[in-house]
Structure 1
Amino acid sequence: MEILRIENLSFRYAGAEKAVLNNISFSINSGDFIVICGESGCGKTTLLKLLKRELAPYGEKEGKILYQGVEQSELDERTAACEIGYVLQNPENQVVTDKVWHELAFGLESLGYSTEIIRRRVSEMASYFGIQAWFRKNTSELSGGQKQMLNLASIMVMQPKILILDEPTSQLDPIAAADFIGTLQKLNKELGLTIILVEHRLEEVFPIADKIMMMEEGKILLYEPPEQVSIKLHKISPNHRMLEGLPSAVRIFYELGMEGACPLTVREGRNFLEQNFDAKINTLEIPKYIHNEIAVLEMKNVWFRYERNLPDILRGVTFSVYSGECFCILGGNGTGKTTTLSLLAGLNKAYRGKTLVQGKKISEFKGNSLYKHNVALLPQNPQTVFLKKTVREDFKEICKVMEYKKEEQEEKIKNITEKLGISHLLDSHPYDLSGGEQQKAALAKMLLLKPKILLLDEPTKGIDAYSKRNLSHILKQLKKDGITIIIVTHDIEFAAINADRCALFFDGEITSIDTPTAFFSDNNFYTTAANRIARNIYKNAISCEDVVKLCRINQ
């Protein structure tokens, strides 16, 4: 039975020349699990917000949105608020109270439900989501994964019929993300809940979806079952940008020139390899990584806490990063990764231990000397980087700070925006951009600082696979120019391809540092999907390219 119908929907933001959505039509049946994907800026988030009346952006809208046959504008307030739930990308942005139990009850209290109903629903939902252990905690004490699970539970208390989620796992570590996706699948199967999910990381959601909606430039390119998407996408173009974002099993299948029904999951991918390829040669020759002897960043037995009476966040952290190296830090939410970057950038100060930049104590840098042609930090929330009304004005402002001449300013802005593919965004307000576009614009602003050391906190958050590939090329060029890069990321595939060394954070300290091949080949959960597919067959394949190479050697 149809629960949602969109008819000829178009939308243009106020003051914008170009429409974000162009004459979109589709329908969703009750109990469907729909995954929406596409390049950054293709209109995914705008579409989701239009489906939730209270979050609809300001602008010119044409067409119809029908919920159970009723035009969206004619729905009564209680139906619109309760029956269509929405989970935001950033867990921090949806938490509104200071206690977990109050967060669960807040929506029901706002709608005037009786105490009896509130207590019953809250206790049932807390039990279902395993929240009992932290039911009475302050929301500020929760990890990112717990906050996102709390957001989901606080929506489910309202008993929605449709659940809309905008990249809910983008700020979660791989284990928390898998738990969250598993919970969504459980809600869909056990409660018959209709789910509409926007996601760039398709590895886990692709196989469980009923349909995949692939968007391109404000239109629907494909709206098909998962097993049909890759086949039809290849027919549209064998080099289509979105092919890079498909699950590893699908990419390996097509890169090997296979035809017909392709594997979607890790298990199916492994079966496909075992049935079609030998393993006489099961190991790739990996050249030994030899780093530069000059350490440009060092932490020696660093301890840090945010307040005197709070527990330590960092506990004796010790590591060195060498000139021209790309060093990736991985680990669970709340283990101390972002805090480490803040200390390296001089935003916080350790109460014990030493932090050295270019061999000099960080406390010895005076004024702006730490940042001018030296250290630049791209924070997790790119919006905090922007100060002006347009991206161009922001870039010009940073050029003035760097004392570039007028003719230099235009040239540098032109070069960096062309590299990142964001020239068309220069006259937009930074807050009007999609999450992925904001990420790229913020990175461009950091690069205008011409840093010797670049600190990146979740740089791939919200960007599509093709944009990640472009970012990889830029990072490689920066390394050639002698720039040292430290990345905090949950994106394991990105780390495997770009890192010279990877470090695992756990309980406030680094427990392991190694090359990507050694690091990911030995992990069960902090590893790539390609490695999970091939690990019983080939020993040190950590990327799709590695697996394909070994398969071809063994043909």
Structure 2
Amino acid sequence: MALIDIKNLNFKYAGNDEQTLSNISLSIESGEFVVICGASGCGKTTLLNLLKPTLAPNGKKEGDIFFLDKPLENHDERQIASDIGFVMQNPDSQIVTDKVWHELVFGLENIGVPSNIMKRRVGEMASFFGIQHLFRKKTSELSGGQKQLVNLASVLVMQPKLLVLDEPTSQLDPIAAAEFIQTLHKLNTELGITIVIVEHRLEDVFPLADKVVIMNDGKVIMADHPRNIGETIQNYPEATAMIHGLPSAVRIFNGLKQVGSCPLTVRDGKDYLREHYTPLEVSNTVPIEPTNEKVIIDIKDVCFKYERDMPDILYKLNLRINEGEVFSVLGGNGVGKSTLLSVISGQRRAYKGKVMIRDKSIKKYKNNELYKHNLAFLPQNPQTVFLKSTVEEDYEEISKVIGYSKEEMKKLINDTLNRLGISHLAKKHPYDLSGGEQQKAALGKILLLQPSIILLDEPTKGMDAFSKKGFSDILKEMKKQHITILMVTHDIEFAAENSDRCGLFFDRNIISIDETTEFFASNTFYTTASNRIARDFYPKAITVEQVIAEAKQSERRYVQSDEK
């Protein structure tokens, strides 16, 4: 008997003529680990929300969702609250109390669990997750990774049969994200909890799945074991765009001969290269050409703390960014990366040191001179940049502020919408968009400012692989225009593909600044899966494309040596 059985499900939002979900039929067995992926706006989150009655959106639903062989709507609400747990994308959206221990008991109190059982469950769950040291802490003091772990623990203390997660790692650094996914794997294998997770970052979660579901335009295109997905995805034209979002080992397999079984993990990828290719003595990767050496951002001995009696977040930080380069800052959650951007943008003021933009202290810029066609900042939460009822109205507002004529404004807005592939979102409320769509719409608003310096805080958060590729093209265009990009990101693969230089934020400062290839090729954890797969064969290959190119080159040499 299937735990969840979805039959001919259709859904459209209230006031919307378009179908968000179309003829979805999907069966999820008890104990399965199911990964759902697809482009932003394809209906993944809507599908998940329909699995949790209290989160179900307002609209017209057709078809059936059965839970334990009984229509979902016929189950007792109190029981469903326990049986189906839900973890949201944004950790802060789910936290409702001020203390960790309050958060853990909140759900149990609401369903009337006796005090002695409640205490036992909470103690057991805190021990399982290793969060005893956080038990008395304020939730506001936790890092993003800790908050998400507390959210997960507060759901699991209810002893659910089904755990549903909507992009739970989107705001976590790579190490915290990998640890979170391994925790889910442990819950699935040791406790037998059925897991359904929507993710764009598939590197860690894809190999763990019993079933991968690929969605496109509100439909299920593929639903199969991950290895079968990797081996057959090119036979499904509607799903081929998803190849760019699959784990590096799968992409390397698809980019080469597709001989044998599709590798899923780094270890599989290493074995695949070892079996079919030979190492190169000299790397053929082409280093990124050096950028113009004119310094555009110069940070000198900057110190910052939020309050007088609090520790420094930034301490004697020095950084120089050249005109026209893309510089990426990586590092753990809560170390100060976003704070750095807020100081550079003038939103927060350092108590010591200087922030120079174009050889001029930001303190000396007057009357929005710093921002008009000069510097723009896209914050981590894209919702904070929206003020109007539709994306188009928001864009018109920013155009008026800059002083464009009506004709210029109309052309710039249309060009920006088309450039980002979001023309169909122009009439929608920004808050009705998916996370990835909000990110693209917010980026469009920044581009309308036509700045020469752009600060980006987690710009690819919630973006699908196809959207990231489009964003990469935009970054390349901006580089040609000598626009300077300073980007804080957890997206290692994106940073490797698009940065000129990278630095690691650690201990209140930016350390180990280096050219991108050298930076990633010498790291152990803060490096790409491609490099971990190929470093014994092609040490300087840090992207999937570079690994494929070098593997083909080594294959040619191997064939030539055989002929001799």
TM normalised by structure 1 equals 0.98
Which residue of structure 2 aligns with residue 9 of structure 1? 9
Shift of the alpha carbon at 1:194? 0.3
The amino acid across from 1:398 in the alignment is I
Deviations 1:431-489 (A, max 9, x none): 11111111101000100000111111111111111110110000010111111001110
Letter in 1 for 2:525: F
With 135-144 and 286-295 compared, the bigger mean Cα shift is at: 286-295
Residue aligned with 1:27, SS: strand
* 1:498-549 deviation per Cα after TM superposition (whole angstroms, max 9, x unaligned): 0000010012211210111100011111000000001122211101111111
8 A contact 1:531–1:543 mirrored in 2:
yes
Within 5 Å, which residues of 2 pair with 1:174-323? 174-237=174-237, 240-287=240-287, 289-323=289-323
Could you give the per-residue CA deviations for residues 238-293 of structure 1, whole angstroms, max 9, x where no partner exists? 99211111111111112112244211111011011111111143422544743322
The corresponding residue for 1:541 is: 541
Mark the runs of 5 or more structure 2 residues left unpaired by the alignment.
Answer: 556-564
Query: In the alignment, does 2:164 pair up with 1:164?
Result: yes
1:70-89 paired onto structure 2 within 5 Å: 70-89=70-89
1:476-495 alignment to 2 at 5 Å?
A: 476-495=476-495
1:125-524, aligned counterparts within 5 Å?
A: 125-237=125-237, 240-287=240-287, 289-524=289-524
Question: CA-to-partner distance for each residue in 1:283-304, whole Å, 9 max, x for gaps?
Answer: 2254474332221112111111
The AA in structure 1 aligned to 2:284 is: L
2:49 equivalent in structure 1: 49
2: distance between equivalents of 1:406 and 1:353? Answer: 43
In 2, Cα distance between the equivalents of 1:238 and 1:20?
17
Q: Structure 2 CA distance, aligned partners of 1:267 and 1:230?
A: 16
Bigger shift: 544-553 or 152-161?
544-553
Kept in 2: contact 1:282–1:550 (CA 8 A): no
Q: Distance in 2 between matches of 1:150 and 1:527?
A: 28
For the 8 Å contact 1:281–1:553, the answer to whether it is kept is: no
The CA distance in 2 between the partners of 1:274 and 1:92, in whole Å, is 44
* Corresponding residue SS for 1:41: coil
Is 1:281–1:550's contact at 8 Å kept on the other side of the alignment? no
Structure 1 pair 67–293 and aligned structure 2 pair: CA distance change class (3 A): same
Task: Decide whether aligned partners of structure 1 residues 274 and 282 sit closer, same or farther in structure 2, where only a CA change above 3 A counts.
Answer: farther
Give the number of aligned pairs.
555
Q: Which amino acid aligns with 1:47?
A: L
Consecutive aligned runs of 4 or more in structure 1 exceeding 4 Å deviation? none
1:92 paired to 2:95:
no
Deviation of 1:381 (Å): 0.8
CA distance in structure 2 between the aligned counterparts of 1:340 and 1:33, rounded to whole angstroms: 39
Give the counterpart letter for 2:59 in structure 1: G
Contact in 2 for aligned 1:100/1:138 (Cα 8 Å)? yes
Alpha-carbon distance, 1:309 to partner: 2.2
Distance in 1, Cα, partners of 2:116 & 2:429: 47
Mean alpha-carbon deviation: is it higher for 188-197 or for 87-96? 87-96
Deviation at 1:71, TM superposition (A): 1.4
After TM superposition, the structure 1 stretch with the greater mean CA deviation from structure 2, 497-506 or 103-112, is: 103-112
Q: Secondary structure at the match of 2:510?
A: strand
Contact preservation (8 Å) 1:281, 1:554 = no
**AA in 2 matched with 1:346:** G
Taking the aligned partners of 1:440 and 1:401, their CA distance within structure 2 comes to 21
Distance of 2:430 and 2:8 partners within structure 1? 28
Secondary structure at 1:207 match in 2: helix
Structure-2 separation of matches of 1:173 and 1:267: 22
Amino acid paired to 1:544:
V
Instruction: Give identity over the alignment, percent.
Output: 57
Q: Aligned letter for 2:115?
A: T
1:529 is matched with which residue?
529
Between stretches 512-521 and 228-237, larger displacement belongs to: 228-237
C-alpha separation in 1, matches of 2:230 and 2:439 = 28
Mapped contact 2:280–2:537 kept (Cα < 8 A): no
- Aligned equivalents of 2:510, 2:483: Cα separation in 1: 23
CA distance in structure 2 between the partners assigned to 1:203 and 1:548 by the alignment:
17
Q: Tell whether the 8 Å contact from 2:285 to 2:546 is kept in structure 1 after alignment.
A: no
Query: What is aligned with 1:110?
Result: 110
- Partners of 2:301 and 2:180 lie apart in 1 by 35
Equivalent position SS for 1:240: helix
Partner SS state of residue 62, structure 2: strand
Aligned equivalents of 1:235, 1:39: Cα separation in 2: 18
Tell me if structure 1 keeps the 8 A contact 2:288–2:500. no
Matched AA of 2:158: M
Q: How far did residue 355 of structure 1 move? A: 1.0
Distance 2:288 2:80 in 1: 59
Would you say the 8 A contact 1:301–1:316 is kept in 2? Answer: yes
* Inter-partner Cα distance in structure 1 for 2:194 and 2:242: 25
Q: CA deviation at 1:96?
A: 1.2
TM-score (norm 2): 0.97
Cα distance in 2 between the residues matched to 1:183 and 1:424: 38
Q: State which drifts further: 78-87 or 301-310.
A: 301-310
Which residue pairs with 1:65 in the alignment? 65
Q: Cα gap change, 1:471/1:288 in structure 2, threshold over 3 Å: closer, same or farther?
A: closer
* Residue type of the alignment partner of 1:418: N
Q: Check the 8 A contact 1:327/1:502 in 2, yes or no.
A: yes
Displacement of 1:231 after TM fit? 2.6
Q: CA 1:12 to 1:205, structure 2 compared with 1: closer, same or farther past 3 Å?
A: same
Contact 1:503 1:510 in 2 (8 A): yes
**Aligned amino acid, residue 476 of structure 2:** K
**Residue identity opposite 1:293 in structure 2:** E
Q: Secondary structure at the match of 1:554?
A: helix
1:549 corresponds to which letter in structure 2?
A: A
What one-letter code is carried by the residue in structure 1 that aligns with 2:278? Answer: D
